[in-house]
Structure 1
Amino acid sequence: MPDLKQVEGLTASVLPRSNIAVIEVDNPLCYAVISLQGAQVLKFQTKKDAISQDLLWLSDLNQYQLGKAIRGGIPLCFPWFGGHKTQKNYPSHGFARCLPWQLSDVSYTEQAGHELTFKLEDTVYTRSLWNHSFLLQMKISCKEELTLHFEVVNTGDTDFEYEFAWHSYFPADIHSAKVKGLFNYQYIDQLQDMKICLQIEQDIEFISEVDRIYPKTHGKFEIQSDQQEPIFLKSNASSAVVWNPWVDKAQRLVDVADDAWQNFLCVESGQIKSASVKLAPSRSAYYELVISN
């Protein structure tokens, strides 16, 4: 692990009452907190026009236990999305978000901000769930916008197929929130037995629980809500997911306050369902997500 003391604006610490190691990033352009578990961005604040704005939502009820998913920020779902197709006892959304990643490189310039690179390789544990050799690299760029570069490398000698998603949580007043950029795209409605539907509304608005998978999109979205600057997402990944648990589901989630459904929504980018990826030995795939306001 690089010596963070040699890099201006980086501080290593452990979250209170937990064993979750994090890196705090503080530069003239932004402030961020990144967990080594999952290489997960927990917090990102811009310093645009000297006014800090949170671009991510993080639950107040997280217990921050090693090996347990952290609710909020940008968890990484890999190598499957949702429940496993055949093994119901396997971890939801795969294993990448619940494992410690290794910080492999850091850099900083006043103009470009901080860039941190994390990696995760297969182990006996991962092969017990998904029997493939791989290397994952997550490069996180913290400047006026937050940019995530994700690389999947097949280091084995057979093909493998995977899904992935950046399960991004964003602050929003759900009663006024609109998600733009998905008009006229097909989606799978997970609340209607995976029924295939067409997005006929110009914007997605929220009057009840929403849980939709859009396998193939153009990768550009906008989140609007009252008393908040718009948040823009841009990705070269094919798929998107839009989710809000609403009242009843939020009450069943132990790491979400009963009324917190009013304060966030998820717009996720990735490769899901029909957009899953088959990767040959020694080949790699590369994805990017940019979040800005």
Structure 2
Amino acid sequence: MTLSELNQRYAIGNHVQFKEIADGVIIAEIANQHAVANIALQGAHIATFQPRGEEPVIWLSPYAKFAPGKSIRGGVPICWPWFGPHKTDSKLPGHGYARTVPWEVLETQALPDGSTFLRFGLIESDATRAQWPHPSTVQLDVTVGKALRVELATSNTGKAAFELGEALHTYFHISDVAKMTIRGLENCEYLDKVQDFARFIQKDGIVIESEVDRVYVNTAADCVIEDKGLKRAIRIAKQGSKSTVVWNPWTEKADKMGDFGENGHRGMVCVESGNALENVVTVAPGETHKLVAIYSVEKL
């Protein structure tokens, strides 16, 4: 669908407009009484979300590259249909292909409470079917309001069950990593990818002072990012998720990635809602699995 066709069919006054921000890269710009947000059609990638009168909730690197087939540094990348490296084929892309392929707009709607609803569908191709041969449909529902609600729905349209790994790899905007504590994962088990997947139990709130890459398993709990610098907390509520991933690459790895900028890692932390490692989901024929995350701001 062309840019003109998208705007004719799915634009809603000043609330939803579609714009081409780079060659072949179209975004939906959302602006309502509650918040503003941008969503790239490539990957159905929520790039920004900022409630009115607040600092941004979602972090987007100022050096993020918007180009066909390239992942975007920041926002809400969709890891699907596997999380991390592919189980049997190391040549396939880490975290799956959903975040770098085109999605289509299926619906936009202005809701009675002033929020804005958008639905996207993953576009299948020969290339995607070669990586994921299981008949399925994938949709992302996004509601932009005082809170940001994200729902990733995977339907098994085939005749055999399949195993699904997934995550909403969300980057959150914080004042400084030294002024932040993550609550909600106390007493949870986690596998530490920095220490060769060694298993530990989280004793207290999470404070980050070096590279952190952990998969917390068997937890459906809310997480709260307490940010003393911004005097606020970001609440991450979730449904259909048994894993929470906490990630900050720290200085050396961020510098090597090239799209963080100097000390860029200090202004972000990833708290990812998903189903990974021992929490992968089995989706039976005819069933739909839904992963939901809701991001909201509270005063500290």
Query: Matched residues, percent identical?
Result: 32
RMSD: 1.4
Q: Are positions 1:104 and 2:106 aligned together?
A: yes
Asked if 1:226 is matched to 2:192, the reply is no
1:36 aligned onto 2:41: yes
Equivalent AA in structure 2 for residue 290 of structure 1: I
Aligned residues: 288
- Give the drift of 1:123: 2.6
1:155-166 equivalences under 5 Å are: 155-166=157-168
For residues 90-101 of structure 1, the aligned pairs below 5 Å read 90-101=92-103
**Aligned partner of residue 53 in structure 1, secondary structure:** coil
2:197 paired with 1:194:
yes
CA distance in 2, matches of 1:6, 1:79: 32
Counterpart amino acid of 2:24? N
Residues 19 and 64, structure 1, Cα contact 8 Å, conserved in 2: no
Q: Is the 8 A contact 1:244 1:266 kept in 2?
A: yes
Runs of 4+ aligned residues of structure 1 deviating over 2 Å after TM superposition are: 4-8
Which residue number in structure 2 is paired with residue 65 of structure 1? 67
Q: CA deviation at 1:8?
A: 4.6
* Match of residue 23 from structure 1: 28
Cα distance per residue 1:145-175 (max 9 Å; x no partner): 0001111101122211110000000012101
Map 1:133-172 onto structure 2 (within 5 A).
Answer: 133-172=135-174
Deviation (angstroms), 1:4:
2.8
Counterpart-to-counterpart distance in 2, 1:40 and 1:97: 7
> Is 1:254 aligned to residue 245 of structure 2?
no
Distance in 2 separating the partners of 1:143 and 1:265:
22
The corresponding residue for 1:117 is 119
**Equivalent of 2:17 in 11, 23, 26:** 11
Cα separation, 2, equivalents of 1:243 and 1:226: 19
**Pairing of 1:229-240 with structure 2 (within 5 A):** 229-236=232-239, 237-240=241-244
Deviation at 1:112, TM superposition (A): 4.0
- Structure 1, gaps ≥5 residues long: none
Question: Which residue pairs with 1:269 in the alignment?
Answer: 273
Unaligned runs of 5+ in 2: 1-5
Q: Secondary structure of 2:17's match?
A: strand
Measure the CA separation in 1 of the matches of 2:229 and 2:144: 24
Greater alpha carbon shift after TM alignment, 211-220 vs 90-99: 211-220
- Could you tell me the TM-score, scaled by structure 2's length? 0.92
Which amino acid is the alignment partner of residue 33 of structure 1?
Answer: N
Aligned position for 1:81: 83
Deviations 1:202-229 (A, max 9, x none): 2000111111001211330000123212
Cα offset, 1:130, TM superposition: 1.8
Structure 1 residues 199, 6: CA separation in 2 closer, same or farther (over 3 Å shift)? closer
TM-score, normalised on structure 1? Answer: 0.95
Structure 2 residue identity aligned to 1:291: Y
Select the residue among 207, 211, 214 that pairs with 1:212.
214
